[in-house]
Amino acid sequence: MKSTTTPAAWLLAGLALLAGASFAFAGSVTKSSPASTATKATAAVSAPTGHDVPQHATFAMGCFWCAEATFEGRPGVISVTSGYTGGTKLNPTYEEVGTGKTGHYESIDIVFDPAKTSYQKLLDIFWHNVDPTQGDGQFCDRGSEYRSVIFYHGEPQHQLALATEKDIEASHQLRKPIVTQIVAASVFYPAEDYHQDFYRKNPARYHEYRTGCGRDARLQQLWGKLDTHAPGIE
């Protein structure tokens, strides 16, 4: 797994391994996993048109630990799963995705109740929790597997994603062009179990990672405020 540069203030030594996840603190942070466990792939589904059945929203926002924490517990959100999508490798492992050679992105798949929240609301949360102008990853995580992407399920989601992108561009709040990709959803592979709900299982390590990666500092700089829902944000 490739290492990613982090701010010097975050370089700590001696963190214990957890379920095979290790952090390198010699000027970089590395996340790695144990041998792959069987996962159940979820085929891309088109969002139903009614308001009485759950729908899917799939986003890539850099580190999926942070992305998952951003959406879990929101009104109308039924579940959030960390995983991999967008590539060609069947049943990819964390290590394989980390090479950047599988074409997959660290992603989350959200199941939501359209009677309690809207896809447009989820898009608003997405945009304000990524750096849409960063093309080489997200925050300290560099590599194609960390880029921000909206994976739309059906044409209505596609048009909403494009409309929200245009609204942000028209606001002139961002000083650089938006490079977030908007592409059709494909097969989603859930990540290994220890990645799921990482912020709950390992809050100290999660907070160290989030702070050290400069995520919140950059979001504050971009948007002028922070979405205080996500754990780790004061």
Q: Which of 63, 66, 140, 213 is catalytic?
A: 63
Instruction: State the DSSP code for 18.
Output: B
Q: Alpha-carbon distance 121 to 184, whole Å?
A: 19
Q: Which residues pair with 193 in a beta bridge?
A: none
Q: Decide the pairing of beta strands 105-112 and 77-85.
A: antiparallel
Compute φ and ψ for 13, nearest 5 degrees.
-115, 150
Largest CA distance in the chain: 52
The residue type at 120:
Q
**Cβ–Cβ under 8 Å, residues 206 and 184:** no
Examine the residue annotation and report whether 66 is marked as an active-site residue of this protein.
no
**Catalytic positions:** 63
